[in-house]
């Protein structure tokens, strides 16, 4: 896989060594068990897969090269490059301004842009409508488009489904940048509808099976379906694609449920004419990170720390999985660890930061799960590890620990 040139401040020599070792020992990614770092009085279970993925590293490399190559130009990002506040703050400090927030609310009006400006399209991609606006202004975005190739793969799959007269069911958060972009690309060639989760999918299935009135479709999926959508006609043939940062297992469950729905309606012998197998749209990085998280659940740990941006979908799903077994603390950097007795963490249910006291148990040996999302620099994870280590006496050095696992 291609190597990208990203700033050194995002790198960690410790994490790089662990990842290199795991890659050499398991090049086919068959082992999802974590790496255990035994520092004596404290041990860390480091997940098998975490940190910057291909799409994120590509986006960061393009953004920084754009800054270096254009010192006299105004440079803008459509919205957040990735869902990590530290990385986005770094970009802004390097002179890159954002046109809008992740919800599509503008900081800058389109008419304030000129053809001499540079606009970078973020890793989530953007809508066809926005691409058209940029072209009308005279902006050339080809060299500054950081859309992840795995997002583009979803778009291409949606297009091919439309070519075969399937309606595209998009598993995602309808207000998420990536989902808005995928929906825009999907509706150019296919009727489309967005489902948030398996519960909404079950409601869609009830409409397909005529178990609830079809007019309910327009209430349940308000703002989530393409223009002129006719439930009676447009739910005869469906295929599922996804926002790449959603839980892979949930996307598969949604696809399986709709497959069974079509079997129930049209019979085992006919369902293939009404349901398209689209499992190939699942992002490799999201899938790897989530599978590695299941590996963490096999450990006997006291608590888990997940590092990443609070608006990062893929990171939130990792938190959800770990929270099923461990006390799990979601933080965006090491500064959220206020002391050995107190941590400030984000509660994904309450959508706010909470303070937890005595989060580190008092015992002879403490084991901690440590991981991050796909938009989190390895250096941030290293900072968290260092801060936690500082609270334990009689600990081994990093060099000693790395040498024991080689």
Strands laid side by side in the 238-242 sheet: 192-195, 167-171, 238-242, 275-276
Q: Rounded to an integer, what distance in angstroms lies between the CA atom of residue 41 and that of residue 314?
A: 31
Helix (H/G/I), strand (E/B), else coil: 273: helix
Query: Rg of the Cα trace of the chain?
Result: 23
CATH number of 151-282: 3.40.1010.20
Q: Where in the chain is the domain with CATH 3.40.1010.20?
A: 8-53+285-405, 151-282
Tell me if the domain spanning 54-144 has CATH number 3.40.50.11270. Answer: yes
Q: How far is CA 162 from CA 33, 132, 145, 195, 266, in A?
A: 40, 22, 25, 18, 21
Helix (H/G/I), strand (E/B), else coil: 372: strand
φ and ψ at residue 328, rounded to 5 degrees:
-120, 130
Q: Rounded to an integer, what distance in angstroms lies between the CA atom of residue 97 and that of residue 368?
A: 38
Q: Rounded to an integer, what distance in angstroms lies between the CA atom of residue 153 and that of residue 182?
A: 10
Q: Which residues pair with 368 in a beta bridge?
A: 44, 303
What pLDDT was estimated at residue 63?
94
Q: What angle do CA 235, 170, 232 make, to 5 degrees?
A: 15
Q: Rounded to an integer, what distance in angstroms lies between the CA atom of residue 184 and that of residue 381?
A: 35
Query: What fold, for 8-53+285-405?
Result: Cobalt-precorrin-4 Transmethylase; domain 1 (3.40.1010)
DSSP annotation of 10 reads G
What pLDDT was estimated at residue 283?
77
pLDDT in tens, the chain (406 residues): 678 999 999 999 999 999 999 999 999 989 999 999 999 999 999 999 999 988 899 999 999 999 999 999 999 999 988 889 999 999 999 999 999 988 888 999 999 999 999 999 999 999 999 999 999 999 988 889 999 999 999 999 999 999 999 999 999 999 999 999 999 999 999 999 999 999 999 999 999 999 999 999 999 999 999 999 999 999 999 999 999 888 888 999 999 999 999 999 999 999 999 999 887 676 778 888 989 999 999 999 999 999 999 999 889 999 999 999 999 999 999 999 999 999 999 999 999 999 999 999 999 999 999 999 999 999 999 999 999 999 999 899 999 999 888 6
The catalytic residues are 178
pTM of the model: 0.89
What pLDDT was estimated at residue 280?
63
What pLDDT was estimated at residue 285?
80
E runs forming strands in 139-237: 167-171, 192-195
Q: Where in the chain is the domain with CATH 3.40.50.11270?
A: 54-144
Q: Say how many C-beta atoms besides its own lie within 10 A of residue 255's C-beta.
A: 25
Helix (H/G/I), strand (E/B), else coil: 126: coil
- What's the per-residue H, E or C state across 283-343? CHHHHHHHHHHHHHCCCCCCEEEEECCCCCHHHHHHHHHHHCCCCEEEECCHHHEEECCEE
What pLDDT was estimated at residue 1?
61
Q: Rounded to an integer, what distance in angstroms lies between the CA atom of residue 397 and that of residue 77?
A: 41
What pLDDT was estimated at residue 25?
92
φ and ψ at residue 308, rounded to 5 degrees:
165, 175
- Report helix angle 54-69 to 149-163, nearest 10: 110
């Amino acid at each position: 896989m291609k190597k990208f040139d990203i700033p050194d401040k995002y790198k960690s020599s410790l994490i790089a060594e662990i990842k290199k070792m795991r890659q050499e020992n398991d090049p086919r990614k068959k082992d999802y068990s974590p790496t255990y770092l035994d520092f004596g009085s404290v041990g860390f279970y480091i997940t098998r897969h975490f940190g910057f993925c291909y799409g994120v590293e590509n986006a960061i490399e393009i953004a920084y090269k754009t800054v270096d190559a254009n010192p006299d130009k105004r440079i803008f990002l459509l919205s957040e490059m990735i869902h990590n506040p530290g990385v986005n703050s770094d970009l802004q400090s390097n002179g890159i301004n954002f046109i809008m927030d992740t919800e599509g609310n503008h900081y800058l009006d389109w008419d304030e842009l000129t053809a001499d400006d540079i606009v970078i399209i973020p890793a989530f991609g953007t809508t066809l409508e926005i691409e058209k606006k940029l072209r009308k202004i005279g902006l050339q975005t080809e060299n500054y488009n950081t859309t992840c190739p795995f997002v583009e793969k979803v778009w291409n799959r949606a297009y091919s489904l439309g070519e075969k007269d399937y309606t595209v069911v998009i598993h995602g958060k309808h207000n998420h940048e990536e989902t808005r972009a995928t929906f825009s690309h999907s509706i150019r060639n296919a009727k489309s509808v967005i489902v948030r989760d398996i519960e909404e999918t079950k409601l869609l299935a009830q409409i397909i099976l005529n178990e609830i009135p079809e007019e309910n479709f327009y209430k349940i999926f308000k703002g989530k379906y393409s223009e002129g959508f006719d439930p009676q006609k447009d739910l005869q043939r469906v295929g599922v694609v996804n926002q790449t940062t959603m839980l892979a297992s949930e996307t598969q469950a949604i696809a399986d449920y709709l497959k069974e729905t079509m079997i129930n309606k049209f019979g085992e012998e006919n369902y293939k004419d009404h349901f398209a197998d689209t499992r190939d749209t699942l992002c490799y990085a999201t899938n790897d990170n989530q599978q590695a998280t299941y590996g963490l659940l096999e450990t006997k740990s006291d608590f888990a720390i997940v590092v990443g941006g609070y608006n990062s979908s893929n990171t939130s799903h990792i938190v959800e999985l770990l929270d099923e077994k461990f006390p799990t603390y979601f933080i965006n950097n090491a500064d959220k660890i206020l002391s050995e007795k107190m941590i400030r963490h984000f509660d994904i249910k309450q959508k706010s930061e909470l303070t937890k006291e005595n989060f580190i148990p008092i015992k002879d040996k403490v084991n901690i799960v440590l991981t991050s999302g796909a938009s989190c620099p390895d250096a941030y994870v290293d900072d968290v590890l260092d801060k936690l280590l500082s609270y334990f006496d009689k600990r081994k050095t990093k060099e000693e620990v790395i040498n024991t696992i080689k």
